[in-house]
Structure 1
Amino acid sequence: MGTNNLVFLEVIEWFDNKGTELAHRIPQEGSAEIKWGAQLIVRNSQAAVFYYQGQAVDAFGVGRHTLTTANIPILTKLLSVPWGFTSPLRAEVYFLNMKVFPNLKWGTKDPVAFKDKELGLVRLRAFGRLDIRIIQPALFVNSLVGTKASFTIEDIEEYLSQIVVSRLNDYLGEKVDTLFNLPGNYKQFSQELQQIVSQDLRKFGLGLSSLYINAITPPEEVQKAIDDRSRVEVFKDLGKLTQLKAAMALEKAAANPGQGGAGFNMGMGFMFPYMLKDAFQNTPQEKIRSRCPDCGQVVPENSRFCPYCGHQILVLKQCQKCGKNLSPKAKFCPNCGTPTENKPQPKRCSQCGFENLPDSLFCNQCGEKLS
């Protein structure tokens, strides 16, 4: 690249005009000559990651930052230059949108197989929504964005949907015996599924603020069987209720033989709507605070290490196998020995040959348990 393609920057900032960008690269093509002493302006709900020679060297939180070797000390080591170096530096800056991205849709593109102990193999469709946010800016850029000039919700929404559907298939295979147990349990299923999917997203520097299952839909004939069984259960309960009312009426008539049970009113004052009113009110979301992923203690904003246990908070790279935080130049994981360039391979079903996401427990195509 010749010098005619270089951009000389003294003020580095980014305005999010679209509201759908997760990451934005400056400059959008090539590298820029960034002058020492340049001003890096990071606005609310933003973070910035400084890249030199293709690797992340530091991250910045909200505020105005003057770029010098004093606040990016790792460059002194990388460049082998004395403290106070002032010549322009060819580099890039990624801005990250740290806000919560709400109401992202997930759902089954094709029906997934579920083995029901009473109905046999059933093809299910499911859909819902989820809310995500970036929690590790450098890890997010390194694992998902790469060298793209812009990374939007549209670039990741389908992949997020695949992860949720795969984990839902595993969850149903482990926790649910029959579809007759689905009604009334969506809230519990959503909460437990959120914990599972959160572990997947952390590998990419993403946090899952919430996840909801709106519906799990079986084929029409299976839905009819579920409805028929529900009606049977209702009639069983109505029979018990009728017996109870009859017994109460007889008892009251015996206590008041002269009145012959007159004045016995079969209407009931249903108080349930008032009793349950508070249960359905929206609970305000707890304010999101930064916590150490190792010891769980609340840490000061923009901390690079946990003041309680020393765990590295700013994650630049992470082992895909064991989740160990890695240094930028690490070629092997010091914890499990896995090469850092290794990427998880799809898990192939021995029954039908379908390729599932890594770590899947059940096949999305045939419902067979994966080895």
Structure 2
Amino acid sequence: MKGDNRVFLENLEWFDESGQELVHRLPEKGSGEIKWGAQLTVRESQAGVFFYKGKAIEAFGPGRHTLKTGNIPILTKIASLPWAMNSPLRAEMYFVNMKVFANLKWGTRDPVAFKDSELGLIRLRAFGVFNLRIVQPVLFINTMVGTQGVFTTEEIEEYLNRVIVSRFNDYMGETIDSIMNLPAKYDELADGLATRLKDDFRHFGLGLANIYINAITPPPEVQKAIDDRSRVGVFDDMNKLMQMKAAMAMEKASESEGEGSMGMGTSLGLMMPAMFAQYFNAIGRGAQEGGSPIPSIEQTKCQECQSSIPVTAKFCPMCGHQQLVFSQCANCGKNLAPNAKFCSRCGHPAGEKPAPIYCKRCGAENMAGAKFCNECGEKY
């Protein structure tokens, strides 16, 4: 019909050409007319979420799906019977990219304050990378994406950077007294920071796959003091170094004086069993640490009872708690029913977000839950 701008969507599928799209909606603008019986194809690295009248109706895993009563029972009430189940539905399909998004950058835009037990108040810069993935597609759409047709990592990276820096500052203040020996603790700091951030990411349906700290840099004058202290430590250990070199020289001299090649061959013969034992032990450790070729079903934990369950499960087999999350309480993290107005666990209003914290000393604004001020380092 001339002038009819309606778009009928009968084959729904999506490919991420950029590698940076978290969510893609069909159609990208407005809502489309999805016909009864339309075909939906979801790839292994995707999830599909069907929206009707602004509400999430169902989530689909990998495979080919037909949008009929068998897949979405509620469609029997939505579809118009006088048109013999052939009427189009004003709806949208959101494709969620479930892959791991690697090498996202985080870092301090401005130096954060840190109270060092030896150097006093100093300002630190830190930066690194983290890996991100979506674990609750409906919750992520409802809390972060909204009605956007395309949502990329660029649009979320800045906010997540603020969250990481705030929690990094808190964790540093709680666990590190002085930055003198800080480089040796990067891995420990990264592990603790990842644990601290899991709840922040979980509220948005996100999972933090890994986080790495590349560098923590103090001001130049503080760095000079650390370098001077390192040089002193080198001089303290010089005597031990000279003793070790003398012992090595004596061993080499004794080998060349009397035994020659026969002595060397004997030494190698004695060393071979130990070398092979070390080699096979390393192989055994590698197999135990993840070298097994046997595939396993990816697991996650129920947020209610903490039982291990498959990532594709919609309900926990142990406690029956729903795993397809539509919204969460911003105060305690309880999974909420789609139309809940208050949290059944703590009574917090469902749509209300925690208020930011203002430092009593300098008045700087910090994220809710912060324990140390990013501006002056004061503890709340």
TM range (shorter): 0.7 to 0.9
Q: State the Cα distance separating 1:346 from its structure 2 match.
A: 1.6
1:278-289 equivalences under 5 Å are: 289=298
Match of 1:357 among 367, 371, 378: 367
Q: State the Cα distance separating 1:81 from its structure 2 match.
A: 8.4
Q: State the Cα distance separating 1:309 from its structure 2 match.
A: 2.3
Q: State the Cα distance separating 1:73 from its structure 2 match.
A: 2.6
Counterpart of 1:216, as a letter, is I
Equivalent residue for 1:328?
A: 338
1:1-371 equivalences under 5 Å are: 4-75=4-75, 87-242=87-242, 263=253, 289-294=298-303, 295-300=305-310, 302-370=312-380
Counterpart of 2:37, as a letter, is G
Please tell me whether the aligned partners of residues 292 and 313 of structure 1 are also in contact (alpha carbons under 8 angstroms): no
Q: State the Cα distance separating 1:89 from its structure 2 match.
A: 1.8
Distance 1:300 1:81, change over 3 A: farther
- C-alpha separation between the residues in 1 aligned to 2:148 and 2:13? 18
Cα-to-partner distance string for 1:195-252 (whole Å, 9 max, x where unaligned) = 1112211111111111000000000110111111111122212234557888x79xx9
Please tell me whether the aligned partners of residues 7 and 31 of structure 1 are also in contact (alpha carbons under 8 angstroms): no
Report the 3-state secondary structure (helix = DSSP H, G, I; strand = E; otherwise coil) of the residue aligned with 2:183.
coil
- C-alpha separation between the residues in 1 aligned to 2:22 and 2:34? 23
Equivalent residue for 2:268?
A: none
Please tell me whether the aligned partners of residues 132 and 208 of structure 1 are also in contact (alpha carbons under 8 angstroms): yes
Please tell me whether the aligned partners of residues 14 and 95 of structure 2 are also in contact (alpha carbons under 8 angstroms): yes
- C-alpha separation between the residues in 2 aligned to 1:93 and 1:112? 42
Q: State the Cα distance separating 1:293 from its structure 2 match.
A: 2.5
- C-alpha separation between the residues in 2 aligned to 1:287 and 1:104? 27
- Segment drifting more, 203-212 vs 326-335: 326-335
Distance 1:288 1:319, change over 3 A: farther
Please tell me whether the aligned partners of residues 6 and 31 of structure 1 are also in contact (alpha carbons under 8 angstroms): no
Please tell me whether the aligned partners of residues 23 and 97 of structure 2 are also in contact (alpha carbons under 8 angstroms): yes
Counterpart of 2:298, as a letter, is R
Distance 1:306 1:238, change over 3 A: same
- C-alpha separation between the residues in 1 aligned to 2:290 and 2:252? 50
- C-alpha separation between the residues in 1 aligned to 2:178 and 2:296? 37
- C-alpha separation between the residues in 2 aligned to 1:319 and 1:77? 30
TM-score normalised according to structure 2 size: 0.82
Counterpart of 1:303, as a letter, is A
Counterpart of 1:363, as a letter, is C
Equivalent residue for 1:268?
A: none
TM-score normalised according to structure 1 size: 0.84
The percentage of aligned residue pairs carrying the same residue is: 58
- C-alpha separation between the residues in 1 aligned to 2:202 and 2:135? 8
* Equivalent pairs, count: 346
More helix by share: 2
Please tell me whether the aligned partners of residues 289 and 298 of structure 1 are also in contact (alpha carbons under 8 angstroms): no
- C-alpha separation between the residues in 1 aligned to 2:22 and 2:252? 72
Distance 1:37 1:315, change over 3 A: same
- C-alpha separation between the residues in 2 aligned to 1:88 and 1:138? 23
Q: State the Cα distance separating 1:85 from its structure 2 match.
A: 5.5
- Segment drifting more, 145-154 vs 336-345: 336-345
Q: State the Cα distance separating 1:74 from its structure 2 match.
A: 4.2
Report the 3-state secondary structure (helix = DSSP H, G, I; strand = E; otherwise coil) of the residue aligned with 1:158.
helix
Please tell me whether the aligned partners of residues 132 and 209 of structure 2 are also in contact (alpha carbons under 8 angstroms): yes
Please tell me whether the aligned partners of residues 79 and 89 of structure 2 are also in contact (alpha carbons under 8 angstroms): no
Please tell me whether the aligned partners of residues 68 and 75 of structure 2 are also in contact (alpha carbons under 8 angstroms): no
Please tell me whether the aligned partners of residues 329 and 348 of structure 2 are also in contact (alpha carbons under 8 angstroms): yes
- C-alpha separation between the residues in 1 aligned to 2:20 and 2:31? 24
Report the 3-state secondary structure (helix = DSSP H, G, I; strand = E; otherwise coil) of the residue aligned with 1:291.
strand
Specify every segment of 5 or more residues in structure 1 that has no aligned partner in the other structure, as ranges: 253-260, 266-273
Q: State the Cα distance separating 1:299 from its structure 2 match.
A: 3.0
